[in-house]
Structure 1
Amino acid sequence: MSIKKVTFLAVAILFMGIGVILFIFRSLNEAGIDVVAVNDITQSLAEHWGSQEQSELPSRQYGLEYTVLDSRGDLVGATRRGLSEDIDSAIHNRDTIVDITRNGTVLGKVIIFNNTSELWEKYRNNLLVFFGVMIMFITLFCLIYAVYIDRSIFRPFRKLQAFARHVAEGKLDMPLEMEEGNGFGAFAESFDLMREELAKARENERMANQSKKELVASLSHDIKTPVASIKAVSEVMILNSVIEDDINQLEVINSKADQINTLITNLFNATLEELQELNVTVTEESSTVLGDLIQNVDYYNRAVVSSIPECIVLVDLLRLLQVVDNVISNSYKYAGTSISVSASIKGQYLEIEFKDYGHGVSPEEIPLLLNKFYRAKNAVGKSGTGLGLYIAKYLMNKMSGDINCRNMDGGFVVILRLHIA
């Protein structure tokens, strides 16, 4: 049953109730005195005047209640007690007063009792019963209608709400189920089609990302192979060369091969989901190895390393080498000056500062340097992807350390914090 039909039924019941009430009041207004019965009573009383007992008052079959008075106004008889017994009471009760005459002589009067109050009380009682039944029926109807509205409107909306929550949570494999014949069927079907399209779009996106990762990984592997060959050949030529200029040029080739290898590694690492696939194995290492590690990546020999306090730090040497290589490479690229490397123990950390003497970066850009793909304004015209410091921060955090950057008087400083065992 549709909502229109139910609403029409409710309006029809309301008008039916109003019609019954109007009919009852109309019947009340049509109630009056039976003139024939009154004439019959007066004629019978006139014929038997003076010889009739009260229990023998005539024409009681008419159902009229009346009182009989003589010509002096004294009570002669009444059909029952409680009726008007004098003219004043009759006038007050709006009773009907009829003369009893015989041969033109007035023998007395008949006071026909006005039972309007009793009729009204009877009608009022009937109305109360009627209204009671109507209220019970309307209440029952409202309850049934409320259940119907809940099943046909609110329940589908609750299902839509739960469905929208599932979609927001990414649960796209849960279809929207609706009862057969529901008025929101087309509406619900549109939502379910939207869910299916979102699921298809998500799957296409996943496949595209997977293809991209596989392509980048494949290209990284393919590029690393010739770069490794170039590096190996340059190292052999350096060993075999005796001319100083040739050795310097071969070292430049070797360093550039290292730089290309670093960029390809960063590009490959950026394709990993939140870098979770990068393997970081933390071990206890002596801080004395850090000096050699820094010298291995300082292929321009611009770093001046101060003494490093002896302690045991928690690091992955391979990943730390990648971090230091990125820091020194950035200094080569953006500052082009010498690099001062100093170390000190502060609390539970060994802090290593890499200071160059370039122009640094603007203060508002410093908090953004460690973000993925962010490059400062001084990087314009220089190669790079904006991934080096982002990956360095991730690796340092995995080693229970940290990395920070800041400007200093006459230069720029990158601080590595290594956790002491």
Structure 2
Amino acid sequence: MVKVAALIVAAGRGTRFGGDLPKQYLTLGGRPVLRHSLARFAAHPDVAVTRAVIHPDDRDLYDQAAQGLATLLEPVPGGAERQDSVRLGLESLVEHTPDVVLIHDGARPLIDGALIDRVIAALAEHPGAIPALPVADTLKRGAGGRVGETVDRSGLWRAQTPQGFRYPDLLAAHRAAAGRTLTDDAAVLEAAGGTVALVEGAEENVKITTPIDLSRAEALFRGPGEPRIGSGFDVHRLGPGSFVTLCGLEIPHDHGLVGHSDADVPMHALTDALLGTINAGDIGRHFPPSDMRWKGADSAIFLAHAGALITALGGRIVNVDITIMCERPKIGPHRARMATRLGDILGLSASRISVKATTTETLGFTGREEGIAAQATALVMLPF
């Protein structure tokens, strides 16, 4: 798979915004503006590493904004200009050897996963790609308070971030452009002779530049939120053993479940359901079975990770529903403890967790007691 790194550029002072606090640390929806961007990239299943470039004086502010986002790399200090900050951030990623890098403005908090997907996909065929929107308004060139001429808007686009590039190409281009002043990273690659593709941007992906921008973004967080429903399904075969692990409990049985981790079928299904609510891929993309770190791992790690990603995005788990499919063992005697255990992991009341079971009337692989299956559904409220 292509290894993707994300650089969140947040070293600016926000002089156009005014005030004593840099705009990326102002509050939006109850959280710092920068945290929204950090959380979205940290949650994206294809982004392997995420690092912020910050002003050296802002470390305490950054630590508050990034609190709880354990997957982030340590931030690095930026330079005098944005272009310097990006170059320094790129240099700091050399040891991580990414294939592609995404450069995003820390003051663009409303980025969504689908836009990130589009930029990454375009890099399979192009050395660079940026999200953009066609200019819809009539453009005027003015001087002295008067219109000088009407500018042809055909072929003009409003560039956004994240801008994506093949990492070696952009690093070389930034090194070559040191000392020059270019408007964005696409311009840096263009100056080095690279081509940049356009992908569809998003109107919501605004940059917070003025107090009015922040007020408009804040309006998205005033409603009850947006309901998101996710579903998950998992199967593990039965093999030698004396217990099965279901919803975090070791239940005595004359067989065991076989899997790379502890093979907790319902917990895996629930993890996928929660990841689905935020379009964050599936459990295998976050915890690949090829990675020996997860050999025999407690599946509570996976479930807690999914819950933390939702919380980081400002989301709230409303309820979850799990159905376990097996002939044996009997689930009924353990349902209450299962709900309690899942609630402990997710910080959710057991009253919001339903654990059910069914047989398949001796039909299929579960009926023949060759394996156990589970499906899960989750409802999450996201801020917008």
- Whether these two folds match at TM > 0.5 is no
TM bin, normalised by shorter chain, reads under 0.3
State the structure with more CA Rg.
1
Highest relative contact order (Cα 8 Å, sep 6+), 1 or 2? 2
TM-score (norm 1): 0.17
TM-score computed with the length of structure 2 as normaliser = 0.18
> Structure 1 or 2: larger strand share?
2
